[in-house]
């Protein structure tokens, strides 16, 4: 099975690369702007990243093709498969950060405060393509005091995946991008099926994750300012309304409680793959396994509309260590990774989305299935002030676990949603965000 | 260090013996001081600082301790540890003791059953935890299926319902460790002198009297030992939690060790985590002292 | 308990019931390891797989950037040196505490005994900071070094054993001018084979089954141990319970074999360590 997947990926990558290279040959403007400089650089550079095995192989490919431009540079790939944030922190504390490394969009502040991040603002001028036509609202997450210290290498969007076979079977129309939360709840109830003896649920209409993307998405869809003036604001009416969508679905029996599902692994995508869940909200990262493993027709639409729409920004940002001896090389590597030629090698797998508007409209970079519209549209409402502020507190990991612990209590029916949200605010504002 | 030829010939036998003794224990002692006692002391000093590892530590006095005793999560973790001791320890001691009584009879194949009962003990905790997560699964787990078919019990969220989560992990732990404690009890039971039983039988005592007036009192030191170990282990519990619940749902399965790990390695609050370690140390010390007092016979090390 | 035919029968019945409780989870593990993902999540569950998926094992063994064999060898790189050195140093120290007289001997011994009561979590952070400062993060050193020079439990166990041996054993040798090192090496050590086997099994199991240690100290995938590898089947990209169960069986096989081969030593170790301690 894995071999097949590898083959399929290799094929896809090959197609994508030839296409990308052909494109580069055709249009002069698409040449990588750092090529000339690359030839003059030399030295060994370490690049540390997380992700899964496919991602590791893809980046190995990116570094290899970079080194063709820069024969005197050697990029050493450091791959950390699990507990990445903890490991990065440890390396930082031992003062042995790699030259280039990934950080979660909410984990940058502490490194910035400790003076460990190289200010890459000058490089944005040296390589104008880095920021040209970049999607709105993504640069900010790596920007502190006007300095760009981390770069958004891509993004993932958050959409609703649909098992369209189940819709056909139940005679329910497949929703379009303009659907609302009410439609969603209704369809979820319709698609929920009991076992033959009626004793329990066989197929759930939908699933929810007790995960930051879900919280941010649902609260955002009701315009909630869930983090405001440096304080947690979950008890706000709008926040409650957004989280209530998740809560109601569980209460109505249209979604399994997240605890039930997460105890079989960290995510619900398995249930979608084996046909136990009809609609599943998630990021672009599930697509490689869906393409490989789903033996039914499936597609994706935008998340249902509340009073508005907000797409959570989930991203690994690239930073350069302030201790690096070769900042020019590091920036050159980054520039290559972000070039059309570098990105096409990563985007072919559909693990994530390019952070550039022109590439978002390009089939090579945002390929199908599922339909690209949901992803393209969501770029228009990416990120929110609450998420940006909360991410930049530098205390997200602890805040996140306070949220997740209390919400799990509510989702499992141990407390009400109001109680959980009140507890989140009290706990977070009492200690984390005190003074 | 083990080369006695370097010992000068002028030394007496007694001096030689002492020198060898010191040489033999030198490295283990050094290792003990460096990896055990020095960290305990250092931990206390770190607990007086605020330190995220990335920046210089700043002196914080006893503030970490103040925050700690107002920290809902820490207090819940402590309370969970108490709940664990109250549920797990009796279950574990009773089960293992009954197993030991069962195997203490002259049964054919007792050796085989003893081996079998010990099997969960050798299984890696990661394997055991992953397996039980699967067994306990609310919707697809075999346990709920069996309960439903046999007793018409509605599916229970063993690991997702705050009322059951800690208990469910305790049941798993009994399953995993009963074989170990059983062996300890078995050894103690088999160490009871036959002449005591013979005397008792002459007096015509009932099996129950024999159990309560001979067996249990004579095995008591082992029971204390097993209980003390279980209490200490309650503070150590990490892997089960990390794999099965991550402390949830809510904070219902946070243990002191798990919260300490989170604070240190997820939130990088080193000083705070060390304050937690210091509190844990004091609690363990007190528990050990009390338990030693309670036991009429002091632990004997055959000095 | 009462002796009698009926009673015997009840006892046999009970031991069998308990045996079933002990074995059933393992049986369920094996059955699950052969199922497809779809069958795993089927309701009502099937007991035995309808199709036996042997591929689960090959996939579990080769999935990810490093193979199961590679992870197993990594675990051995930790377990073997820990076990070998621990036994040598513990046995020497045990001999010294049992047979040699020197100042503060009993106080020092109590220091060792007391350390057995200290939970791992208490020394966790300072130890971590120490190894980090020394530049041993993401190496096996922090996982090997602390146990290498003898641990309280091993020293205690060997000492207890040496104390049961008669004094006459070494007296003649001392009169002959034999050094204590030779007495330990040539007379005592050969007599302690059973206790060495016990310690070896315990140390090996401890190192092989350890999870917290590797989680804290190991970062790169190429250095993953078996236990870490097993847990990493559960990240968001690969939450594959079919593979977890198959991988669990692979991880279980070495310790079960070790246990079956050495079980009498294990029993002895617990009896000595548990009852007297």
pLDDT of residue A216: 96
Q: Is the dihedral of CA B189, B195, B196, B199 positive or negative?
A: positive
Contacts of residue A92 in chain C, CB cutoff 8 Å? none
Q: Do B136 and B254 reside in the same domain of the chain?
A: yes
Q: CA of C232: which chain B residue's CA is closest?
A: B243
Q: Quick check: A264 pLDDT over 80? A: no
pLDDT of residue A241: 96
Q: Quick check: A267 pLDDT over 60? A: no
The Cα C40–Cα C32 span in angstroms is: 7
A58: containing domain: 2-155+314-372
CATH number, domain of A361, equals 3.40.190.10
Q: Quick check: A3 pLDDT over 70? A: no
Q: Do B239 and B104 reside in the same domain of the chain?
A: yes
Q: Quick check: A20 pLDDT over 70? A: no
Q: Does C41 reach chain A within 8 Å, measured CB to CB?
A: yes
Least Cα separation, residue B145 to chain C (angstroms): 7
pLDDT of residue B193: 79
User: Residues of A at the C interface (Cβ-Cβ below 8 Å)?
Assistant: 1-2, 52-53, 56, 78-83, 87, 90-91, 93-94, 96, 195, 200, 202, 264-267, 269-271, 273-276, 285, 289
Element (H, E) at C178: none
Closest Cα partner for C128 from B300, B39, B224?
Answer: B39
**pLDDT cut 90: percent of chain A above it:** 70
pLDDT of residue B26: 93
Q: Does B55 reach chain A within 8 Å, measured CB to CB?
A: yes
For the entire predicted model, the pTM comes to 0.87
The Cα A90–Cα A83 span in angstroms is: 11
The Cα B10–Cα B13 span in angstroms is: 10
pLDDT of residue A29: 44
pLDDT of residue C60: 84
Q: Do A305 and A399 reside in the same domain of the chain?
A: yes
In a domain, A385, yes or no: no
Q: Rounded mean pLDDT of chain A?
A: 89
Nearest to B207 among C2, C215, C263 (CB): C2
Contacts of residue A111 in chain B, CB cutoff 8 Å? 54
Q: Do A89 and B54 touch (CB under 8 A)?
A: yes
B183: containing domain: 63-294
Q: Do A327 and A403 reside in the same domain of the chain?
A: no
Contacts of residue A413 in chain B, CB cutoff 8 Å? 161
- All partners of chain B with 3 or more CB pairs under 8 angstroms: A, C
Extents of the domains making up chain C: 65-276
Q: Do B161 and A398 touch (CB under 8 A)?
A: no
pLDDT of residue A23: 47
Whether the link from the prior residue into A370 is cis, omega within 30° of 0, is yes
* Mean pLDDT value across residues A359-370: 90
In a domain, A379, yes or no: no
Domain boundary among A341, A357, A372: A372
* Mean pLDDT value across residues A12-22: 52
Q: Do A81 and A126 reside in the same domain of the chain?
A: yes
Q: Are strands A316-320 and A100-104 parallel, antiparallel or unpaired?
A: antiparallel
Helix runs in C100-192, H state only: 105-115, 120-133, 141-148, 152-163, 168-175, 180-182, 189-191
Q: Is the dihedral of CA A263, A264, A270, A272 positive or negative?
A: negative
The Cα B88–Cα C237 span in angstroms is: 35
Contacts of residue C135 in chain A, CB cutoff 8 Å? 94, 96
According to the per-residue pLDDT averaged within each range, which of A60-69, A262-271, B158-167, B230-239 is highest?
A60-69
Closest Cα partner for B178 from C209, C2, C270, C259?
Answer: C270
- All partners of chain C with 3 or more CB pairs under 8 angstroms: A, B
In a domain, B300, yes or no: no
Q: Quick check: A223 pLDDT over 60? A: yes
Q: Do C135 and A94 touch (CB under 8 A)?
A: yes
Q: Quick check: A9 pLDDT over 70? A: no
pLDDT of residue A17: 53
Q: Do A280 and A357 reside in the same domain of the chain?
A: no
Q: Do A209 and A196 reside in the same domain of the chain?
A: yes
pLDDT of residue A93: 83
Least Cα separation, residue B55 to chain A (angstroms): 6
The residue among C25, C26, C246, C272 with the most chain B CBs within 10 A of its CB, best to mutate, is C25
Nearest to C220 among A78, A93, A289 (CB): A78
Q: Do C43 and A80 touch (CB under 8 A)?
A: no
Residue B237's CB is within 10 A of a number of other CB atoms, namely: 23
Least Cα separation, residue A286 to chain C (angstroms): 7
pLDDT of residue B165: 92
Q: Does A416 reach chain B within 8 Å, measured CB to CB?
A: no
Q: Are strands A43-49 and A100-104 parallel, antiparallel or unpaired?
A: parallel
Q: Which of A188-192, A372-376, C216-220 has the lowest mean pLDDT?
A: C216-220
Q: Rounded mean pLDDT of chain C?
A: 86
CATH number, domain of B115, equals 1.10.3720.10
Q: Do A427 and A301 reside in the same domain of the chain?
A: yes
Give the three-state DSSP class for B264: helix
Q: CA of C237: which chain A residue's CA is closest?
A: A52
Q: Quick check: A8 pLDDT over 80? A: no
Contacts of residue A274 in chain C, CB cutoff 8 Å? 37-38, 41
Confidence class for position A28, pLDDT limits 50, 70, 90: very low
Q: Do A265 and A175 reside in the same domain of the chain?
A: yes
Contacts of residue C208 in chain B, CB cutoff 8 Å? 124
In a domain, B301, yes or no: no
The residue among C214, C236, C238, C241 with the most chain A CBs within 10 A of its CB, best to mutate, is C236
Q: Do B32 and B125 reside in the same domain of the chain?
A: no
The residue among C59, C74, C212, C235 with the most chain A CBs within 10 A of its CB, best to mutate, is C235
pLDDT of residue A355: 93
pLDDT of residue A331: 96
pLDDT of residue C235: 63
Q: Does C43 reach chain A within 8 Å, measured CB to CB?
A: yes
Q: Do B213 and B246 reside in the same domain of the chain?
A: yes
Q: Do A151 and A175 reside in the same domain of the chain?
A: no
Confidence class for position A14, pLDDT limits 50, 70, 90: low
The Cα A39–Cα A70 span in angstroms is: 5
Give the DSSP per-residue string, B212-242.
IIIIHHHHHHHHHHHHHHHHHHHHH--HHHH
The residue among C63, C213, C219, C247 with the most chain A CBs within 10 A of its CB, best to mutate, is C219
Nearest to C102 among B21, B139, B278 (CB): B21
Q: Do B68 and B182 reside in the same domain of the chain?
A: yes
Q: Do A240 and A125 reside in the same domain of the chain?
A: no
In a domain, B104, yes or no: yes
pLDDT of residue A1: 38
Give the three-state DSSP class for A137: coil
Are A275 and A296 a contacting pair, CB within 8 Å?
yes
Q: Where are the beta strands (DSSP E) in A215-308?
A: 227-228, 231-232, 277-282, 298-302
Q: Do A94 and C231 touch (CB under 8 A)?
A: no
pLDDT of residue C230: 86
The Cα C60–Cα C37 span in angstroms is: 13
Are A4 and A305 a contacting pair, CB within 8 Å?
no
Q: Quick check: A135 pLDDT over 50? A: yes
* pLDDT, averaged in runs of 10, over chain C (277 residues): 68 91 94 89 84 88 81 94 94 91 91 88 92 90 93 88 83 81 86 83 90 89 88 66 89 89 76 51
Contacts of residue B139 in chain A, CB cutoff 8 Å? 200-201, 256, 260
pLDDT of residue A25: 43
Nearest to C137 among A81, A83, A94 (CB): A94
Confidence class for position A180, pLDDT limits 50, 70, 90: very high
Give the three-state DSSP class for B267: coil
Q: Do A105 and A171 reside in the same domain of the chain?
A: no
Structural domains in chain B (count): 2
Query: What superfamily does domain C65-276 belong to in CATH?
Result: MetI-like (1.10.3720.10)
Closest Cα partner for C149 from B29, B1, B37?
Answer: B29
**DSSP assignment, residue A134?**
B
Q: Do A257 and B138 touch (CB under 8 A)?
A: yes
The Cα B25–Cα B33 span in angstroms is: 12
pLDDT of residue A147: 96
Q: Quick check: A12 pLDDT over 70? A: no
In a domain, B13, yes or no: yes
pLDDT of residue C64: 66
Q: What phi and psi values does residue C5 have, to the nearest 5 degrees?
A: -60, -50
Q: CA of C224: which chain A residue's CA is closest?
A: A81
Q: Does C38 reach chain A within 8 Å, measured CB to CB?
A: yes
pLDDT of residue B207: 78
Structural domains in chain A (count): 2
Q: At what angle do helices A327-338 and A340-347 cross, to 10 degrees?
A: 60
Q: Do A43 and A166 reside in the same domain of the chain?
A: no
Are A330 and A164 a contacting pair, CB within 8 Å?
no
pLDDT of residue C233: 77
Q: Does A257 reach chain B within 8 Å, measured CB to CB?
A: yes
Q: Do B195 and B100 reside in the same domain of the chain?
A: yes
Q: Do B130 and B8 reside in the same domain of the chain?
A: no
Q: Do A150 and A184 reside in the same domain of the chain?
A: no
Give the DSSP per-residue string, A22-50.
HHHHH-GGGS-TTHHHHHH--EEEEEEE-
Q: Quick check: A380 pLDDT over 50? A: yes
Q: Do C63 and A79 touch (CB under 8 A)?
A: no
Report residues of chain B scoring pLDDT below 70.
1-10, 295-303
In a domain, B51, yes or no: no
In a domain, B57, yes or no: no
Higher pLDDT, A311 or B246: A311
């Amino acid at each position: 099975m894995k071999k097949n997947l590898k083959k399929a990926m290799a094929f896809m990558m090959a197609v994508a690369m030839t296409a990308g290279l052909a494109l580069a040959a055709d249009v002069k403007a698409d040449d990588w702007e750092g090529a000339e400089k690359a030839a003059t650089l030399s030295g060994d550079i370490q690049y540390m990243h997380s992700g899964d095995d496919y991602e590791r192989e893809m980046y190995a490919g990116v570094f290899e093709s970079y080194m063709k431009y820069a024969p005197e540079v050697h990029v050493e790939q450091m791959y950390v498969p699990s507990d990445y944030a903890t490991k990065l922190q440890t390396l930082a504390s031992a003062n042995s950060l790699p030259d280039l490394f990934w950080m979660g969009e909410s984990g940058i502040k502490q490194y910035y405060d400790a003076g460990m991040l190289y200010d890459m603002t000058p490089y944005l001028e040296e390589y104008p393509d880095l920021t040209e036509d970049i999607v709105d609202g993504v640069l900010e997450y790596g920007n502190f005091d006007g300095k760009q210290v981390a770069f958004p290498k891509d993004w993932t969007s958050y959409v609703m995946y649909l098992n369209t076979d189940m819709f056909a079977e139940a005679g329910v129309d497949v929703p379009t991008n303009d659907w609302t939360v009410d439609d969603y709840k209704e369809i979820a109830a319709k698609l929920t099926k009991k076992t033959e003896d009626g004793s329990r649920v066989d197929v759930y209409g939908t699933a929810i994750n007790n995960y930051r993307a879900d919280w941010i998405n649902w609260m955002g869809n009701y315009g909630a300012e869930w983090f405001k003036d440096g304080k947690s604001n979950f008890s706000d009416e709008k926040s409650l309304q957004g989280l209530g969508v998740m809560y109601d679905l569980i209460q109505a029996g249209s979604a399994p409680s997240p605890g039930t599902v997460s105890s079989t692994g960290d995510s619900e995508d398995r249930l979608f793959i084996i046909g136990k869940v009809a609609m599943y909200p998630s990021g672009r990262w599930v697509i490689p396994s869906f393409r490989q493993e789903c033996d039914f027709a499936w597609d994706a639409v935008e998340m249902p509309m509340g009073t508005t729409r907000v797409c959570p920004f989930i991203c690994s940002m690239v930073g350069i260590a302030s201790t690096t001896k070769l900042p020019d090389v590091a920036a050159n590597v980054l520039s290559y990774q972000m070039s059309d030629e570098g990105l096409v090698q990563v985007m072919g797998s559909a693990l994530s989305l390019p952070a550039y508007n022109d590439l978002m409209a390009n089939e090579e970079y945002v390929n199908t299935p599922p339909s690209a519209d949901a992803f393209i549209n969501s770029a228009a409402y990416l990120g929110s002030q609450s998420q940006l502020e909360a991410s930049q507190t530098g205390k997200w990991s602890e805040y996140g676990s306070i949220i997740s612990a209390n919400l799990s209590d509510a989702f499992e029916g141990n407390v009400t949603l109001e109680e959980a949200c009140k507890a989140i605010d009290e706990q977070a504002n009492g200690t984390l965000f005190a003074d | 260090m083990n080369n006695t030829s370097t010992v000068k010939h002028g030394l007496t036998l007694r001096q030689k013996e002492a020198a060898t003794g010191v040489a033999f224990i030198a490295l283990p002692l050094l290792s003990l001081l460096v990896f055990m006692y020095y960290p305990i002391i250092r931990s206390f000093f770190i607990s007086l600082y605020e330190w995220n590892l990335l920046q210089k530590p700043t002196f914080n006095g006893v503030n970490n301790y103040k925050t700690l005793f107002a920290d809902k999560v820490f207090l819940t973790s402590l309370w969970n540890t108490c709940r664990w001791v109250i549920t797990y320890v009796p279950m574990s001691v009773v089960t293992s003791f009954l197993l030991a009584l069962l195997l203490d009879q002259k049964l054919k194949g007792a050796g085989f059953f003893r081996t079998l009962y010990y099997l969960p003990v050798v299984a890696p905790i990661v394997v055991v935890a992953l397996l039980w997560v699967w067994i306990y699964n609310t919707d697809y787990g075999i346990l709920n299926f069996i309960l439903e078919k046999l007793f018409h019990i509605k599916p229970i969220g063993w690991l997702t319902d705050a009322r059951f989560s800690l208990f469910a992990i305790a049941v798993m732990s009994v399953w995993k460790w009963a074989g170990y404690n059983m062996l300890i009890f078995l050894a103690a039971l088999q160490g009871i002198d036959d002449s005591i039983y013979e005397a008792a039988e002459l007096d015509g005592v009932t099996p129950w009297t024999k159990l309560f007036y001979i067996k249990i009192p004579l095995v008591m030191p082992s029971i204390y030992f097993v209980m003390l170990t279980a209490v200490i282990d309650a503070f150590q519990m990490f892997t089960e939690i990390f794999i099965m619940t991550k402390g949830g749902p809510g904070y219902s399965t946070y243990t002191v060790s798990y919260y300490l790990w989170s604070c240190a390695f997820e939130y990088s609050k080193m000083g705070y985590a060390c304050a937690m370690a210091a509190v844990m140390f004091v609690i363990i010390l007190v528990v050990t002292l009390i338990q030693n007092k309670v036991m009429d016979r002091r632990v004997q090390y055959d000095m | 308990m009462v002796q009698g035919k009926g009673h015997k029968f009840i006892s046999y019945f009970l031991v069998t019931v308990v045996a079933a409780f002990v074995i059933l989870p393992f049986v369920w593990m094996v059955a699950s390891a052969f199922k497809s993902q779809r069958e795993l999540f089927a309701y009502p569950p099937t007991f035995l797989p309808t199709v036996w998926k042997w591929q689960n094992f090959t996939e579990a063994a080769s999935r990810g950037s490093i193979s199961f064999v590679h992870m197993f060898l990594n675990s051995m790189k930790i377990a073997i040196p820990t076990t070998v050195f621990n036994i040598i140093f513990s046995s020497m120290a045990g001999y010294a505490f049992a047979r040699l007289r020197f100042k503060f001997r009993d106080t020092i011994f109590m220091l060792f005994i007391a350390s057995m009561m200290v939970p791992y979590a208490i020394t966790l952070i300072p130890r971590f900071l120490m190894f980090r400062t020394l530049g041993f993060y993401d190496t096996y050193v922090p996982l090997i070094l602390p146990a290498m020079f003898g641990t309280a439990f091993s020293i205690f166990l060997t000492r207890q054993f040496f104390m049961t041996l008669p004094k006459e054993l070494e007296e003649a040798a001392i009169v002959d001018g034999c050094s204590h090192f030779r007495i330990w090496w040539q007379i005592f050590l050969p007599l302690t084979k059973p206790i060495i086997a016990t310690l070896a099994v315990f140390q090996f199991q401890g190192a092989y089954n350890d999870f917290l240690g590797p989680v804290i100290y190991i970062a790169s995938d190429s250095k993953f141990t078996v236990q870490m590898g097993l847990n990493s089947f559960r990240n968001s990209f690969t939450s594959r319970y079919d593979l977890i169960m198959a991988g669990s069986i692979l991880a279980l096989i070495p310790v079960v074999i070790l246990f079956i081969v050495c079980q009498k030593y294990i029993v002895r170790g617990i009896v000595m360590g548990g009852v007297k301690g």
